[in-house]
Amino acid sequence: MNPFQRAKDIVLVPAREWRAIEKESGEPGYLFGRYVAIVAAIPAIAGFIGQSVIGVSVSAGSFRVPLVPGAVNAILSYLFSFVIVYLTALVIFALAPFFQADRYFPNALKLSAYSFTPVWLAGLFLILPGLQFMTIFGLYGIFILWVGMPVLLRAPLEKAIVFAIVASVAAIVITILLAAFQQIIIVPNVPGEAAL
């Protein structure tokens, strides 16, 4: 599998691509090693470049995140991508019976991994901090997830949209919680900083 061709196809022709993905392995080692490890690196690297190399402009001037904290942040973001994909797959797997869908974890993992593609590709906008708002295009992943649910989990069409929305909300909550945890790890708890 060429991960960049797969990323292009899942974004541009998701219905066709899900049918191809259905025949492939859903083993974590396969998905994480051949796809997530490569595509999830995009926002981590772009964010590091944007914050620590290019810098962020604010009304008082511009600043750069120091290289070491910037690198730690990038590494944690990258590692948390794997956690988010896996936890989202667990949510999809757990919720499947409520939406009359098949409960098959390898396909839930495929749905989760490939549906994050727009999020990771939109991470390119993190290189230029002024364009970070463009990461909103990552929400296209909800559509990709919806298109894939009837193919991989045999979810009825009328239930697939609600299933996709519920799974996406769960993914957003997981992401927010991990981002908060990441900030706790990176930003030391200095007395008096809470007031700032």
- Within 22-82, strands assigned E span 56-58, 61-63
pLDDT at residue 126 tops 80:
yes
Q: Residue 69 — pLDDT band, cuts 50, 70, 90?
A: confident
What is the DSSP secondary structure assignment for residue 138, as one 8-state letter? G
Q: Residue 196 — pLDDT band, cuts 50, 70, 90?
A: very low
Q: For all residues of the chain together, what is the average pLDDT? A: 89
What's this model's pTM, rounded to 2 decimal places? 0.88
The stretch 28-34 carries a mean pLDDT of: 93
pLDDT reported for residue 111: 97
Distance CA 24, CA 29 (A): 13
What residue type is assigned to position 37 of the chain? A
The stretch 144-155 carries a mean pLDDT of: 96
Q: Residue 187 — pLDDT band, cuts 50, 70, 90?
A: low
Tokens of 56: 């962020």
pLDDT reported for residue 188: 53
pLDDT at residue 189 tops 60:
no
pLDDT reported for residue 161: 95
Distance CA 133, CA 81 (A): 20
- C-alpha separations of 36 from 10, 12, 85 in Å: 14, 18, 9
